[in-house]
Amino acid sequence: MLRYGYPLFMLVGVNGTAIWLAASGAPKALLLLPVAVAIVASFSVERLIPYRDEWNHSQDDSLRDAIHVFVNESMILISVAAIPVLAALRGPHTWWPGGLPFVVQVLIAILVADLGITLVHMASHRYGWLWRLHAVHHSVTRCYGLNGLMKHPLHQTLEMLGGVAPLLVVGMPVSVASALSVCVAVQLLMQHSNADYRVGPARRILALNSGHRFHHLRDAGEGDVNFGLFTLLWDHLAGTYVYDPDRRFATADLGMAAKPDYPTAYGEQLVVPFTAAGACGPMQPLPRRSLRERLATPAYACGSGRRRR
């Protein structure tokens, strides 16, 4: 029941509740309730059906991750609160399909945000200045719920801009943005979860934990796969989708092979991208290639391997 019921509870139950609250005009503070329920459910199920028992125990990272979550989730909430100001700057014109059912509007927002965030994510594995910021997220050596927001705040900001800016330009309402912010929080919990849940064939489309663990492989190139936040649609199109049902993951498989001593304290992780220690050595310049060919070859030598097809 837990293996198959948990993802339904989170993806349909929690997200559905948030969408209903947003559509009904409930106070925005009430949307914190489904987020709190999702966090409690995530930690509970990770202990009832863990993928790896040891990932439920702190590696001296629990406090740091909690700080990352608090800072980055606060940034998301502040950005939602700032939408009316941004709308005033945009002017009265709007191209948002407000006549559609509210749930359809949220699904449109999810797909557009998913594309924008995925593109920023892909670029973060290709360009050194972006990788410096994104490396904070790849320093993790266990996958569990809080990993999703274990990001440098500047990289979190860039991903948010990539995903939300197009929606703001066309006039996304605050209510839709509020529902979207809850869906993002739920998705990050699910994507990095240590729970051994199942979604059947949907794992090929939904960007959940069974596929996202491949993204956290430690060797250069191997982790340049499964970039999507909500879906794997863009990975299928770009040729960056990988899945092996027989592959199992352990702590030794995660992190960054080229930087096993990457700083673990929160303050150090804020600073290290701007130091020499935060860089990866550039490989030889690549000839002009298609997007699929470029994504298949790592641009920075942050490990010793190549992505296996």
pLDDT tens profile 107-160: 999 999 999 999 999 999 999 999 999 999 999 999 999 999 999 999 999 999
Task: Give dist(CA 196, CA 49) in Å, integer.
Answer: 6
pLDDT given at position 283 = 37
In this predicted structure, the answer to whether residue 307 has a pLDDT above a threshold of 50 is no
Q: What is the mean pLDDT of the chain?
A: 90
Answer whether 80's CB lies under 8 Å from 28's CB: yes
- Quickly state the pLDDT bin for 90 (edges 50, 70, 90): confident
Neighbours of 217 (CB within 10 A): 25
- Quickly state the pLDDT bin for 292 (edges 50, 70, 90): low
Task: Give dist(CA 187, CA 155) in Å, integer.
Answer: 18
- Quickly state the pLDDT bin for 302 (edges 50, 70, 90): low
The residue that leads in pLDDT, 298 or 92, is: 92
pLDDT given at position 214 = 97
Strands 300-301 and 281-282: antiparallel
pLDDT given at position 282 = 43
Contacts with 155 (C-beta within 8 Å, 6 or more apart), sequence order = 124, 130, 133, 134, 136, 137
Task: Give dist(CA 173, CA 212) in Å, integer.
Answer: 31
Quote the pTM value.
0.90
Q: What is the pLDDT of residues 5-58, one digit of tens each?
A: 999 999 999 999 999 999 999 999 999 999 999 999 999 999 999 999 999 999
Q: Can you say how many angstroms the Cα of residue 155 is from the centroid of all Cα atoms in its chain?
A: 11
Provide, for the chain, the percentages of residues in helix, strand and coil under a 3-state DSSP scheme, each rounded to the nearest 5: 60, 5, 35
Answer whether 257's CB lies under 8 Å from 301's CB: no
Question: Residue 300: helix, strand or coil by DSSP?
Answer: strand
Task: Give dist(CA 34, CA 37) in Å, integer.
Answer: 5
pLDDT given at position 125 = 94
pLDDT given at position 305 = 35
Nearest-10 Cα torsion for 272, 275, 276, 281 = 60
pLDDT given at position 81 = 87
The residue that leads in pLDDT, 35 or 85, is: 35
- Which of 125-129, 248-252, 295-299 has the least mean pLDDT? 295-299
Answer whether 197's CB lies under 8 Å from 7's CB: yes
In this predicted structure, the answer to whether residue 274 has a pLDDT above a threshold of 50 is yes
In this predicted structure, the answer to whether residue 284 has a pLDDT above a threshold of 70 is no
In this predicted structure, the answer to whether residue 60 has a pLDDT above a threshold of 70 is yes
